[in-house]
Amino acid sequence: MDSTAQISGALPGRMVDALVLGGPAMWAIAALSVLSLALIFWKLWDLLAAGAWSGGARTQAAIEAWARGDIGAAEAELKDRRSLRAQLARAAMASLRDPQLDRAGAEAETARVARNLLARARSGLRGLELAVVIGPLLGLLGTVAGMIAAFRALQEAGVQADPATLAGGIWEALLTTAAGMAVAIPAQIALSGFDAVVDRLRHDMEDAATRIFARAPAENGDTNRERPRAAAE
């Protein structure tokens, strides 16, 4: 009981001691770790809200209804759906049904919407990329600064230098390298996972758009070709 309380009470103290020993670089790494963790949790919530792991069953059902020519059912399946797949499918269908757009214009409009949706899906990933790069660099900076201070103290001590003092200074300096890697590794894992999710979303959206344009209902045939010149005039 007492030993457990002692360990739990010593952990925060050890963390503070590590921050103090590491110097300004360690404080910067600690702030970076907090920001990275917050960004990871926010990105998880953002992708969940975007339907990244929903599978797109409603979107697939809408595309099948669209291919059968049941436009009402397709629109009903996508109504009020906020997932990125559903938004892309809804934009593609709307573009094909827009009398002011020919097929090329509908494809361009769908591509524009897809780019915006993918940009939203990738929002925040640059911050994780920065954490992956900056974390080890901050750690290296702190280590170099600590080593300089340790060897300077050794030089000032002269012949009376204590090797234990030098070893202690090096140990303290290496703390920042370990801390920087501890921040960069989880950030890199999260970044790779999020990149894989975004790539999957891109594939699903491209597949949905292709199926919608390739299987447009017959009654929308006038949207799948160039508008007559006389109608344009």
**Tens of pLDDT, residues 183-214:** 999 999 999 999 999 999 999 999 999 999 98
2 alpha carbon, distance to own chain's centre:
43
pTM across the whole model: 0.76
| pLDDT range class, residue 106, cuts 50, 70, 90 | very high
Residue 191 and residue 156: Cα distance in Å, rounded?
46
The reported pLDDT for the residue numbered 228 is: 34
From 1-10, 82-91, 152-161, 168-177, the region with the lowest mean pLDDT: 1-10
DSSP 27: H
The reported pLDDT for the residue numbered 224 is: 43
The reported pLDDT for the residue numbered 20 is: 60
Q: Which residue has the higher pLDDT, 17 or 2?
A: 17
Across 109-127, average pLDDT: 94
Residue 7 and residue 22: Cα distance in Å, rounded?
22
Which tens digits make up the pLDDT trace of 28-50? 898 999 999 999 999 999 999 98
Helix (H) or strand (E) holding 224: none
Residue 71 CB coordination number (10 Å): 18
The reported pLDDT for the residue numbered 217 is: 63
DSSP 195: H
DSSP 226: P
Residue 209 and residue 215: Cα distance in Å, rounded?
10
86 Cβ partners below 8 Å, 6+ apart?
51, 56, 58, 59, 62, 78
Across 87-95, average pLDDT: 92
Q: Which residue has the higher pLDDT, 74 or 159?
A: 74
The reported pLDDT for the residue numbered 19 is: 58
Alpha carbon of 182 to those of 145, 165, 188: distances in Å? 19, 26, 10
227, HSE (Cβ side, Cα atoms, 13 Å): 16
* Cα dihedral value 54, 55, 61, 67, nearest 10: 130
The reported pLDDT for the residue numbered 21 is: 61
| pLDDT range class, residue 55, cuts 50, 70, 90 | confident
Q: Identify the burial level of 145 via C-beta atoms within 10 angstroms of its C-beta, where 0-12 means exposed, 13-18 middle and 19 or more buried.
A: middle
| pLDDT range class, residue 121, cuts 50, 70, 90 | very high
CB 191 within 8 A of CB 127: no
The reported pLDDT for the residue numbered 216 is: 73
| pLDDT range class, residue 130, cuts 50, 70, 90 | very high
The reported pLDDT for the residue numbered 5 is: 41
Q: What is the mean pLDDT of the chain?
A: 80
Above pLDDT 70, what percent of the chain? 76
